Amino acid sequence: MKYFPIFVDAEHIHCLLVGAGEVAARKCELLLKTPAKITIVAPWICESVKRLVEESEQITFIERKFEDQDIDGKQMIFVATDDELINKHIHDIAHAKHLLVNVVDNTPLCKFITPSIVDRSPIIIAMSSGGVAPVLLRYLRQKLESVIPNKVKLLGNFSEKFRSTVKDALGSVTDRRYFWEEVLDGDIGESILQGNSKQAEAKFDKALIAYRNGDKPTGQVYLVGAGPGDPDLLTFRALRLMQKADIVVYDRLVSPDILELVRRDAEKIYVGKEKSNHTIPQEDINELLARKALDGNRVVRLKGGDPFIFGRGGEEIETLVEHGVDFQVVPGITAATGAASYAGIPLTHRDHAQSVTFTTGHLRDNTINLNWPALVQQNHTLVFYMGLTGLPIICEKLIEHGMPKEMPIALVQSATREDQKVVTGTLEDIVDNPNTALLKPPTLIIVGTVVNLHSSLNWFSQGNVHQ
Vertex 354 angle, CA 353 and 360, to 5°: 75
251 flagged as catalytic: yes
DSSP state of 115: P
Burial of 139 (0-12, 13-18, 19+ CB in 10 A): exposed
DSSP 177-193: HHHHHHHHHSHHHHHHH
Active-site annotation holder among 251, 292, 303, 306: 251
What CA–CA distance (Å, rounded) separates 387 from 389?
6
- Helix (H, G, I), strand (E, B), or coil: what is residue 19? coil
397 flagged as catalytic: no
Helix 313-322 and helix 282-294: axis angle, to 10°? Answer: 50
Residue type, 330: V
Active-site annotation holder among 88, 153, 244, 273: 273
Helix 152-169 and helix 173-185: axis angle, to 10°? Answer: 150
Residues 460, 420: contact at Cβ < 8 Å? yes
Q: 136 CB contacts (<8 Å, ≥6 apart)?
A: 129
- Helix (H, G, I), strand (E, B), or coil: what is residue 273? strand
Catalytic residue numbers, as ranges: 251, 273
